[in-house]
Every structure is written in C-alpha cells, then in structure tokens.
Structure 1
C-alpha cells in the first residue's frame, strides 16, 4: 500500500511539473512564392497571361495538399494545378497558375485558398487586377445639313470620336451605310488608332444631293469598343428650282410689215424648292421684241413668278417663226416659248397694159375704146378712193 501511494504521488508531481514547462508551437511547413499576385490591366472579355505560384515544403514532415481553389472565383481562375493531391517531402515543390479574365470594368481582388495539413491551413494568396475597356463617345450624336441645292456640295460637318474608356481604342473602319448622297471628306480615326483613353479623333462629312427631298444616311464607326459599331445619323434636304412657263407658245397671226402687234405676256413661275436664278431672255430674230421684262437676271423666290411681254413687228413678208429662250439654273434650262406670226406686204396696184396706144385718129372723131385693168398684187386690201381720171390732156376721156 505504501508503495502504491508513493507512485501516485510521484506521478501527480510529474504531471504538475510538466504543466509548468513552456508549450512548443507547431511549426509552419508550407512556403508560397510569390506571396501575392498583381495582374496588369486586362481588357474586359480577354484573359491575361497566367502567373505561376510555387508551393514548397519547408519541414521534415510531409506536406499534403488537399485543394487549390479561388475563394470567389468570378474574375480569377486556377489552372495547370500540380499541387492538389500532392504530398511534398522537405524542400519539394509544386506549382499552379492563376489567370485574370474580367467580365466588367473595375478593380478586382480575390484569394487563392490552399488547403493542406499545414497548421495554418488554409494558406491564402491575395490576387488583384483591373478590368479595362475602351468606350466611344460621339460629339455630336447626329448631323443635320439642312437645305442643299441639288448638284452642289455642302460645307463639311465634323464628328469627334473620344475614347472615354480605360484602355486603348482601335477604330478599324469609318464608312457610310449608303454613301450616295453623303461622303467622308476626311478622317483620322483609323490612322491615329490605337487611341489612348481621353484622346480624340475627327471625321468630316459632306452632303452632295443628287435629287430633291429629305435624304438620310448613317455614318458607321467600327471599333473594338463594346458597342462595336457606333452610328451617327445624317440628314439633309436636296432642293432645286423648277419652272412653269405659260403659255408655251404665242401666235400673233398676220401683220403688215413695219407694224407692231399688241404685246402678249409670258409668265415664268418658280414651282421648285429653291430660288430660281434666271439669265437674260432672248429671241432669235428682230421680228420679235421683248418689253416689260421682269425676268431677265432675276432671282425668283419659291412660289413667285415674273413676266415678259413679246411684241411682233415683222420686217419681211411671210411666216416668221421664232423662239423665246429663258435660261436659268433649273434642270429644264433653257425653257422655251414658240413664237409664230406672218408678215404681210401692203396693197400693190398693177395696171395692165401699162400703156394704151390709140394710133392715128381723125380730128373731131372718137376712137375705139381701149381697156386698162387694175389689179391688186399685194396681200392686203387695196382701197380705191375715187373714179379714174385723165391727167394732162383733154383729148382723152374715161368712159367706164
């Protein structure tokens, strides 16, 4: 009994003394290099180059690695993992890679979690990176050219393309959807690409309408921005004058040479969509003259008109056709008016025969009657104002 009691006392004493000794901490047996990863700016939708992490066993005990995973796992990923399931002896290593693939812009951070038999497991490797992308901002967002005369070219209007994103912008194509009424006069967006964040380029557009009416198109800017193709709507109106000449012809009938007709009026109306600019009105011969001319060298506003009077004054007999020419900037130029009139000679009295020869006649007797015929060979009526008489002799007499 005494021996048992002594042993119990000694055992209790030993345990008490052991409790007073300092406790030895468990040693860390895992080493990670590098301890953290920072990725360069990576364009959204693209994947960075992988970065490698090396894991080493620093202890004499075997290091058993259970898993290597991302804590969040949305923007970063583990690949080429040679560590999961590895049992590393002292100074042995394994590796795994991490890549960064941002799906939106911004700064991102995550941790690689390495679960092992290390006393401090899980071991965390912080990772971070910025997701960047270009962004296109257009100023202005549309171009309106207003009214432009058909067949002419407008002044250029400019669109500024600014990279308001966080990475370089590459413009690959600047084009027009249709390209018949509009043209790209100049652009430096493709030549300046890549365009750094905050920088700009310029596109100059001009309007050359080939027809009247509202004409539209789209300026298309293709780039590596998320929008891919940015569009600037274009609009403008093609305008031009149009003439309506009334009447289309004038007929003056017949008029004696040397006389002048009553004036007849021609009206020129602008029925188009632009001011009508008229040149000098002309006729081809001197048989017609223009008076009260308000059209020559006039600018006739839309919906307005001008007039000119035409007078027929024949210089010779016969049909005398002519044309009134009306030059302008209308597409129908020159407009024409057909002129017709006939010149007439005056009446012409012609006697036949020209002389009457009575021969010898005995004094106191009366000869046989000789007849003279008077004919109007002109083309106007001959007015006879009195009976024929013999002038200069009493030996002759008119009997009928």
Structure 2
C-alpha cells in the first residue's frame, strides 16, 4: 500500500496496524513523511481457512484522517494433493484378463483438512475400474493419505490409455491421474 502526503508540510505517522490474516512485512511509513512525498507498506496474507478473508491496514498520526484504513482482501485456497506413484502403468496384459488391483496413494500437503468429493475413471471402453475408493466423500487430514485401487482389464489389443479424475478442494479442484496399459493377444 502506498501512502502519499499531499500537504505542504511534513506529517508524522506514529503507527501502522494490520488486522485479519494479514501481516506487515516491511514498514516504510512509520516516522516523518515529508511534504508531497510517499511511503510504502508491504503486507503479506496467511490464510487460516479457505474462502474470502478481509482485513484492514490502519494509519495513525498527526494528520486529519488519522485512523484511516485501507481495506485488505484475499482468498484462502488449498494446495492440490500429491500422488504416489506419479502414474500407474500396467504394462502388457492379455485381453480379457485382469491386472491389479494397483493402488494410488493420495497425500494432502496442506496444514488444513482437504475435502474429496469423488474419484472417477475415464478410459477407452471399460478397461479400467476402481475396485476400492478410500478417498471419495472423505476429509483427508493435514499430511494424511487416502487410497484408490484400480484394475486393468483390456478389451482389445493395443495401447489402452485412461485416467482417474479426483475432485477435491485443492488446486484447481480437479486433478487428473494417468493410467496406461496395453492389451495383448491370448
């Protein structure tokens, strides 16, 4: 925030205060502000919850609008979950037979719980299926994990790509996880 002294004389800014989930990281305004000059306050935002947050930056001193405020706003979001392994590769599997289940471990990297809505598979025909879903409809604790297990049953020969879409409140709200495998002749 930049403050300008439009007066022909210097003013004294005795204090600068901040409220909400905001903090001053660089105070360039407390003290004497010369006539027709500016100063800058640098503020950081550290949300403690998701969603919109507000605060104020208040300037006090020997000027007519002492106690004047500047509004601060920010939006708290969560980081996207991480996955282990980074993708699932089933390799070559005989058409009509099943490989798996193979598990995807999903980790919440946030300091707040991460709500999961669903995990769904999209693939060529019905080659991939979720056999166990420990993520959908759960609230994963900070640094906690949940697991989704996948089977691969190729319906024809050749490469068979797929993905699991995780819907949660982290990152963009939808994370894509790659699945690969190929069908081989019996």
Fold equivalence (TM over 0.5)? yes
CA offsets, 1:142-175, max 9 Å, x none? 1111121211111211111111123321111201
Structure ranking higher in strand proportion? 2
- Say if 1:183 and 1:117 are closer, same or farther in 2 by CA, change over 3 A: same
Post-superposition shift, 1:228? Answer: 2.0
Task: Say whether residues 1:182 and 2:128 are aligned partners.
Answer: yes
Task: Say whether residues 1:158 and 2:97 are aligned partners.
Answer: no
Maintained 8 Å contact 1:134/1:167:
no
CA offsets, 1:50-83, max 9 Å, x none? xxxxxxxxxxxxxxxxxxxxxxxxxxxxxxxxxx
CA offsets, 1:203-232, max 9 Å, x none? 100001111121111111111112322111
Aligned residue in 2 for 1:337:
none
Q: Secondary structure at the match of 1:177?
A: strand
Post-superposition shift, 1:124? Answer: 7.2
- Residue pairs, 1:79-228, within 5 angstroms: 99-100=54-55, 111-113=57-59, 122-123=66-67, 131=76, 133-178=78-123, 180-191=126-137, 193-228=138-173
Maintained 8 Å contact 2:112/2:141:
yes
Whole-Å Cα distance in 2 between the matches of residues 237 and 117 of structure 1?
A: 75
Which runs of 5 or more structure 2 residues have no equivalent in the other structure?
1-16, 22-46
Whole-Å Cα distance in 2 between the matches of residues 122 and 132 of structure 1?
A: 34
CA offsets, 1:323-379, max 9 Å, x none? xxxxxxxxxxxxxxxxxxxxxxxxxxxxxxxxxxxxxxxxxxxxxxxxxxxxxxxxx
Aligned residue in 2 for 1:47:
52
TM, length-normalised to structure 2: 0.64
Whole-Å Cα distance in 2 between the matches of residues 217 and 130 of structure 1?
A: 34
* RCO comparison, higher one (Cα < 8 Å, 6+): 2
Q: Secondary structure at the match of 1:134?
A: coil
TM superposition outliers: structure 1 runs of 4+ over 4 Å: 114-118, 127-132
Whole-Å Cα distance in 1 between the matches of residues 146 and 90 of structure 2?
A: 21
Maintained 8 Å contact 1:134/1:197:
no
Structure ranking higher in helix proportion? 1
Post-superposition shift, 1:181? Answer: 0.5
Whole-Å Cα distance in 2 between the matches of residues 190 and 213 of structure 1?
A: 31
Post-superposition shift, 1:131? Answer: 4.5
How much is the aligned-residue C-alpha RMSD, in angstroms? Answer: 3.2
Larger Rg: 1
Whole-Å Cα distance in 2 between the matches of residues 220 and 204 of structure 1?
A: 13
